[in-house]
Structure 1
Amino acid sequence: MILLSYFEPETNNWRECTFAQLPTNLPAEARLWINLNNASQEEQLQIMQRFAIGPTLAEDFSRERHPPKMEAQTDFTLLIMRGYADADFSEYNSSAQVNLLYSKQVLISKIQCHNPVLLKQLEPQITAGKNSNIADWIKQLIFVVSGSYLEKLINFEDEQSELEDVMLHRGNDEHMARIMRYRSVLRKINRNLAYQKDIFSDAVYEEQSPLLRHFNSTEIRDFYEKFERLHSMTDMYYDQLSDLVEGYLSTTSHQINERMKVLTIVSTIFIPLTFIAGIYGMNFINMPELQMMNGYFIVLIAMATGGIAGLTWFKIRGWW
């Protein structure tokens, strides 16, 4: 189903209309928002043909999943972005896919988002009785997409601090699994942010960037700085979580080494004692010490002396 919101310069107001009710040529002051969130492939194709959208742009726009990108033709610019739609970084269901085709008068949007609150924010804000600038709508959507990451990243800072304290004092495998989930989510959103940062980074330095049709260089740099900051924050959090993993593994390895050292010391002490016990456990008739009256006690004293001497040697050498 196609949803159209049309601003009529004659009545100076917005109204919902059908595709057939649109004028063939839009007046200069007219504005049009076409919502294709629930449109079929045939309806999307109809819109693409109506506004003479090139096949490459039409194909990329119609995809439900596409990496963030920006491309332009004569009148229309394609901008694909991804927002973060989950409540936090404990799980990652899917991104909010924001596909936009826009010109000076027309905005065509297709947004896939499982978060109803974010979906509502990603819709252009229409004010009754007031004409809207398409560039302002695009700016609003860019800020909403960047904000969907920023709020979660700021909240995650406190959670990561708690994780650091927990891992320092009583870390366990459950906390490790939690960290690994966070790292997986951060790695995925980092890719999305890298794509979007590059879109605006290229626009900052390209004199022919499609964004310059609607925004000045200061606004484009503002977009770039927002996504560059988000990308840097995800890099930083990912590195810090990696440090926690490495620290936990190092601590665990050290604890295992300490236990192995104790076991090695015990084994080293008891191996010669076991050797002596093994010799005198043999049942040969002609063993010379079998007839000694105090042989049993002499062997026990020798074994105790050997064990104490071994422990003393380890202590002197600093091995224990």
Structure 2
Amino acid sequence: MKLKTGLQPGTLIYTGSKNEYETIELEEIIYNKENIYHKLNFYKNELNLNTNFEMNNWINISGIHNVELIKKIGQYFNIDSLILEDILSNNQRPKIEIRDNLIYIVLKLIIPIENKLFKYEQISLILLDNTLIIFQESKNSIFNTIKNRLLKDIGKLRKKGVSYLTYGILDRIIDDYFIILDSLNNRSDDLEETILLSADKQEFEKILALKKDIFKFKKSVTPLKEMIIILRSNEIKECFQENIDIFLEDLHDHINVILEGVESIFFKGNELIQLYHTTVSTGMNEVMKVLTMISTIFIPLSFLAGLYGMNFEVIPELKWEYGYFILLFIMFLTICVMGYFFKKKKWW
């Protein structure tokens, strides 16, 4: 955000960390019930789009770090500068904006990677009359299944327009949220079992790492509450070129499940910290109890040892032939009696 401080609204600056010389992939899928055309190329200096406004167009742009390309896309499709600015600002919160000629949707694309980690990227969708444009920060395979269904004419995609395609894209993104939610729940359950067995500093660090991931995930999906309201409004239904109410209701249900799951895992993260402190306190109490019992046992023994360690000249027992062994026996008997007493009281 510091890059944009003091600049007027609509100033196009990419706020991410991509190298400006990295290649940008432009993929076009033009289709209807009977025909489909698929084109894949890399952007250099010219924007060569084969848009056919008589058919459905899906344009997928992988890489948004080239400001000139975004400007050209904006000019070609008459997209206002404020939306282009949001596309280039990769820290946007999820939202839906409705304009006279388009619908703009921005979400967080959460991609599972190795070691139970996730990569967060921004994804922007612009829905025009019969054209869907997707802006991704980097190339990934998340939409490969949808592309295959289009190319091989599987399911309803080819028979319906870009409104249904938009639903399919959103549904695919939300599906990955379930994977993330399940992963966080599994990590939480594993940590809970481990903490109940033994709580150490390493487990506490894992709890903090989990809390950090939960908070980041919650921050990315909480704005979906506002999206639900807009998705169910008549205003957005009028913007779609076809009736997809039943599919929007399905998307609404999925988002509600995600939001409920996020709240649940968030509270569970807090409970893990409480469980850790409780386990540590319980362990410390056990240690203190053992030490207290040992100290209690040695109090009479110390008294006896101190009594016969005094420097009086006349202590009759010191001259007994078996006085030493009698004292040891008394000490042993004291330990046994106190041990039995602790056992009977269930203190030990």
TM range (shorter): 0.7 to 0.9
Task: Kindly state the Cα deviation for residue 43 of structure 1 after the two structures are TM-superposed.
Answer: 1.2
Matched, 1:200 2:223: no
**Corresponding residue for residue 19 of structure 2:** none
**Corresponding residue for residue 26 of structure 2:** 3
**Corresponding residue for residue 117 of structure 1:** 141
Task: Kindly state the Cα deviation for residue 224 of structure 1 after the two structures are TM-superposed.
Answer: 1.4
Structure 1 CA distance for aligned equivalents of residues 31 and 260 of structure 2: 44
Equivalent in 190, 208, 213 of residue 185 of structure 1? 213
Matched, 1:145 2:166: no
Task: Kindly state the Cα deviation for residue 41 of structure 1 after the two structures are TM-superposed.
Answer: 0.9
Q: 1:21 to 1:35 in 2, by over 3 A?
A: closer
- For structure 1, the residue ranges without an aligned partner over 5 or more in a row are none
Task: Kindly state the Cα deviation for residue 63 of structure 1 after the two structures are TM-superposed.
Answer: 1.9
Note the aligned Cα RMSD (angstroms).
Answer: 4.1
Structure 2 CA distance for aligned equivalents of residues 240 and 88 of structure 1: 24
Q: 1:195 to 1:88 in 2, by over 3 A?
A: farther
**Corresponding residue for residue 89 of structure 2:** 63
**Corresponding residue for residue 13 of structure 2:** none
SS at match of 1:84: strand
Contact in 1 for aligned 2:62/2:138 (Cα 8 Å): no
Equivalent in 106, 112, 119 of residue 131 of structure 2? 106
Contact in 2 for aligned 1:6/1:32 (Cα 8 Å): yes
Structure 1 CA distance for aligned equivalents of residues 177 and 31 of structure 2: 36
TM-score w.r.t. length of structure 1: 0.75
Task: Kindly state the Cα deviation for residue 122 of structure 1 after the two structures are TM-superposed.
Answer: 7.2
Task: Kindly state the Cα deviation for residue 74 of structure 1 after the two structures are TM-superposed.
Answer: 1.5
Q: 1:128 to 1:311 in 2, by over 3 A?
A: closer
Q: Deviations over 1:260-316 (max 9, x none)?
A: 21221110121232244245435x4x4432784126456545544554554454455
Structure 1 CA distance for aligned equivalents of residues 224 and 145 of structure 2: 19
SS at match of 2:100: coil
**Corresponding residue for residue 122 of structure 2:** 97
Task: Kindly state the Cα deviation for residue 21 of structure 1 after the two structures are TM-superposed.
Answer: 6.4
Amino acid at match of 2:62: N
Q: 1:268 to 1:258 in 2, by over 3 A?
A: same
Structure 2 CA distance for aligned equivalents of residues 6 and 308 of structure 1: 87
Structure 1 CA distance for aligned equivalents of residues 346 and 93 of structure 2: 59
Matched, 1:134 2:162: yes
SS at match of 1:269: helix
- For structure 2, the residue ranges without an aligned partner over 5 or more in a row are 1-23
TM-score w.r.t. length of structure 2: 0.70
The range that moved more, 73-82 or 29-38, is 29-38
Task: Kindly state the Cα deviation for residue 226 of structure 1 after the two structures are TM-superposed.
Answer: 0.7
Matched, 1:54 2:80: yes
Question: After the TM superposition, which residues 76-87 of structure 1 pair with which residues of structure 2 at under 5 Å, given as runs?
Answer: 76-87=102-113
The range that moved more, 55-64 or 170-179, is 170-179
SS at match of 2:125: strand
SS at match of 1:100: strand
**Corresponding residue for residue 272 of structure 1:** 300
Task: Kindly state the Cα deviation for residue 247 of structure 1 after the two structures are TM-superposed.
Answer: 4.5
Q: 1:178 to 1:212 in 2, by over 3 A?
A: farther
Contact in 2 for aligned 1:80/1:100 (Cα 8 Å): yes
Contact in 1 for aligned 2:143/2:172 (Cα 8 Å): no
The range that moved more, 239-248 or 188-197, is 239-248
Q: 1:7 to 1:312 in 2, by over 3 A?
A: closer
